Structure 1
Amino acid sequence: MTDDQATPPNTSGPLARLDSIVDDVFEQADPLKTSGHGLTSDDDICPLYCAISRIKTRYESHELIGRGGMKEVYRVYDAKAARHAALAKPRPEFSRDHFDAFLREAHLTARLDHPNIIDLFDMGVDAEGRPFFTMELKLGRSLRDVIKGIKKGEQDAEFPLHRRLEIFQKVCDAIAYAHSRRVLHLDIKPENIFVGDFGEVKVCDWGMGVVMAREKDQSESTVLLDPDLYGSLLDSAKGTPIYMSPEQKDRRQTKTPRMDIYSMGCLLGELLTLDVPTTDSDALTRVDPALAATVRKATKPNPEDRYQKIEDLREDISRFLSGYSTSVESPSLRREAALFYRRHRETCSIAIGLFTIFTFCVAYFVIQLRLSRQDAVEARDRAEKAQAAAESSQKQAEDSLARYLAEKRSSQEREMSQVLSAINHSDFITDAMLLREEAMPAAINHALQHIKTIIQFDPLPESKVWLQTFYLHFLTQDFDAALALSEEGKIIDLDLVHLAEKYQTFQDTDGNLTTDDFIALIRDLCKHRPKKPQRGQLAEKMIIYDSLQRNSIEDLERVTNAWIHINNPHWDPLQFSFDPETETVRLRGAKLIRLFRRFPGRLDNQVPLSLLYVLRPKVLDVRETGLENLTGLAGLNLQELDIRDTAITDLTPLLHKHDLRRLHISPGQLSELYLEQLPESVEVFMGN
């Protein structure tokens, strides 16, 4: 007995059906092989087709969810599409004469295909001969419910001003699209706008809308959608007077986009004040002047004085949210300065902080210089008196000389203290962690000027001030000036002198190094790390300074790749790519273990600068790397980050990344606690 005869085939379940289909396809050339695997019915082959073909009634489970001027709306189950939808049909009291007026809304909605406009699914005639149409089922709340909730204090945290303005922008997008399709809404109000739980915004109820006629070639379908054609048949679907422009109340007036713009102005006013639109000028006194001016311009009685396009109204709201002045205000210099500070709060704070530190250092230096000169004058006076007294008493002369020598030593100690202060000041203002872009050349120049004021005391050749001066010239690749110090007999570290001599020969007539030679210089600097760990700090500053002189993105990409490889010596530099158009950096390889350089003596609260700093990527993809933390993101304004398949589990460094919008992680990589701490603006994508 064969196996097929011993065990009857399983003729039930999806696996059996799949087995039957596979056998039928691959064994039909030999009918004997199909014995025992016969197909039972069409349901086994095409179950979806058979299920749909048996549906007699498509829309089931009618549940009344709303009633308007002309229609009733039911929540129904679409058996063919296996989803719930909203089904609208005329109210029972309306006869056949009203059916075309009812179908206007469906035809208008069918003309529009936009993510912020409700979707039309189907339209037809039921078994009783009455028309119907189905639409996307609106989930969430109407904007009217949202405003009521905010006024009660229940949703003010969920819908702050900036989110209300973002909702308004999406409504502007929908109306602007409709206008581009020559469709006017003419009944814009909070009741006709729905807000979903996940940021969706839908503009609904286009029953009052019209299709604007073209100049001469108005089509028949356009004429049939004109509400004036139906006369009293549409009296039950009038607009809302407080949202209607003055000219819209006159039915004889030609319908224009400026009528919708007036309604949008009323909607914006209610979103700002949480009160119904009014002509009272005091209603907007507590609103930001720029937004108040925007509302007033949109609701001007004369249509020619309003915004002429809905895009212009949206642009002013966008400018306000971005921290710029709007087109309808005449901002003073003080307001422009305040807006500038709001847009660049972090940069301005750093600049003010640096200026304060600089002022303090200069004041301290001037005070110390004055004290030193005063002490020198006093010491000279005492010496002269001691010399005069020596004529009368050798003992007094010796005592005076001893006091003079003591004061001289004290003066020398103060001079040495000032030298050390100048060196520390130079290191402080050229710290790469405190500088941003073009600030470094100015800081280096300031440090050199500061040191020159100390050199006038003619420090000894072994003084550290000469090494600091050499250091600053070396940093800017001014090897001629650096080597001049060594030739003058100043005591300079030999490794730096040898590097300056070596790479001086590679400079062109303008004193520049090629990208290959500059990378070689950085590698030579970092070779001294075991004995001279501070050389890595010098290399980091040289890379930032050099990036300001090179305009080639390809050169910056090569320098960055080499810098990463220097700090990850076992990593393959071929696993690096940069797309300048999308500002995307992609890194791969388990040997990539850090995106920052470790320096000795760095304080715990000093965040190390990212190795990618000079590229300034907006998107960073570090999938499948050996990174274990996000410490190396300092100085980057990332908008998207991919950390899938890494050991990263701490998102603390991202909590203050205000530009971050998208984060890709692997399933189970991070705890819910960390994800909940992320700002609402960050969208998390989870997948392999």
Structure 2
Amino acid sequence: MSKKYIKLDDFFSDFQDDLGDLYDGALEPSKEEQEVQKIIDQLLEKRYQGEVFLAEGGMKKIIRSRDSLTSRDVAIAFLKSDEKEKLSSFIKEARLNARLQHPNIMTVYDIGVDDKNEVFFTMKLIEGQELGDILKDLREGKKSAYDLQKLLYIFLKICEAIAFAHSKAILHLDLKPENIQVGEFGEVLVCDWGLAKDLKANKETAEIELNEPPIFKADKNLDLDVCSTLDGIIKGSLGYMAPEQAEGRNKEKDERSDIYSLGAILYSLLTYEIPVDSSDIHSAIRQCVSGAIVLPSVRASHKIPEALEAVTLKAMATDPNQRYQTVGALVKDVEAYLGGFATSAEDADFMTQIKLLIKRNKTASSLIALSFVIISLLIAAFIDQIFTREKEAVLAKEKAQELQALAESETQRAEAENQLRMTLSRKAAPAFFRRSQLTWKNYQFLAFENAIKMTLELDDKSKKAWNLYALSLLGEMQFEAADKAFQKGFGGEAYQPFIRKWRLLNIQETNVAQFIIDLQELGLNREIAIVMNHFQKDREYKDKYVFLSTIIKATYGTKSSIEVQYNSNERSIKIDGKYFRKISLINGIALKKIDLSNTVVTKLDLFHSWTLQELNLSKTKVSDIQALQNNPLENLDISYTAVNDINVLQGMPLKKLNIAGLRLKNLSPLLNCTQLEQLTLSQDMVAREPKVVEALKEKCSVIILE
């Protein structure tokens, strides 16, 4: 075999070329690395792109910009160029606002410094109008979609926001229509917390004399709608700030100062005008301090409901002790008006209460009124005929017998009409009984008590009503009364052994578990809820959870292995055990967060009137979530349940939602969940409705499970 000789120079030259090609290939980035580098380059660029002026007022100017990091439009607040000395107040407003996470309070996303070293903070951008602009359109007679009822619902949302702020010991102190943003889809946001006061933080300037003129910002265009003051002495907006603010009595400012401002906003909602009727600042302050406010009914050209005028005047009382003491009390009166009930402010007499009752029950009232008119006419005719016959009797005794017969006939007729009136009254009873059945089904026991008593008052022969009333009395442990009610109903033979057993016993904590077991055997779930509320109402929160755990273990037995985990600070509870079914046992605890996952719970009627924020129903037997409609839920997990209709979720303030594993035909209702931030779906949902899923991805973060 011949030998082949290789030249070393050629070998090393070829080797270096190959090594260079290999190195160049290693430096060439992959497609995935290029995508990652592109994202990094975007993050290093200026985050907020574009500036569109929106508004300015006080110490801020507001622009619209695009957040390149999250791909959403935001509102950005900057200090105005002539307000740089208020930097600390500006930052304080942003931080204070950021602490108030509520559906009706403007959300602050971020605080930062731009490339010009200007401090800013970003907020949620809402497409809509200021409440002040809405009132201006109404004042000028322009066509508007807002009637009094819609304005009052806006007002209730404002109150909810302020009540939440008060629960955090924070006062707004600058409430006015211009600081309320109304969105296109019913959103209501309280904005501009620049004058807000943290009651747990620093003290404010001491009182000043009213005779000393207030120091206002020099402004050629000063008017009463936007009359803001300098920091340190008087803070607020004329027409809407409380007398103690207008006089500079800063030590006296508390929650009732905001309540005065809410009353002033209600004044504007009723009249479309600012409460003070003067173009002179000092005169306006004197009106505010002295309480010389023109009555809404005098100020407005349209009719103002007397009840709402009374509510407004009470909220705007010059003496804080004469106002509503909490926002909740003010809300209760406005809701009473909307529901057709008398308010506490108007001190309604008996006739007013009757008028409201008639208004709430127009059909029944019309029938009763008609029967009353008929009876009155017949009685009048009867009396007239009697007088006529008596005169004739004086003239002709021979007609006396005929008159007597006629009188007897008319008496029978009057009795028949009276019977008709009673019959018409009984016809109104079924409506109240249906109300009783609905409130009983939904665990609304206070409303049930009122409805069932009205039913029995109108028709005390209704056996169904007596039977339902008797069942409620069992839950209240009033066995004698329950037995009598059953006798007027269908007898209640099935419950007689139970009544005989417990009527002689004093039900206490030592034997209440056995009492609940006996109720369970009879299938009386709502009665169990009443019992639990009775034993829980006077306990401390921690003791409530301990008592619940004890009852669950006693009623389910040790073999069930049901455990109760709780956090009294968060008012949360998790019930761990696949045999747990009776949610009526948790009644009596004002919970915010509940985890019932992997249990056999089927019905949610107990939660109709609750205010839950988080609820986990994953892998339960639940199929209907209609009962959750009025709950302010922010986090809901209904994955792998039998729920097949999610229309009820529309409009709820949900932020996190898990619906993986559901057999849904339509995901489009989720597009109306405007506050949704995270959504969990299963892969089959993406295949069925790809367009809806893509639209959802533009609104929030979407997690897809295989």
Given the two structures, how large is their TM-score scaled by the length of structure 1? 0.46
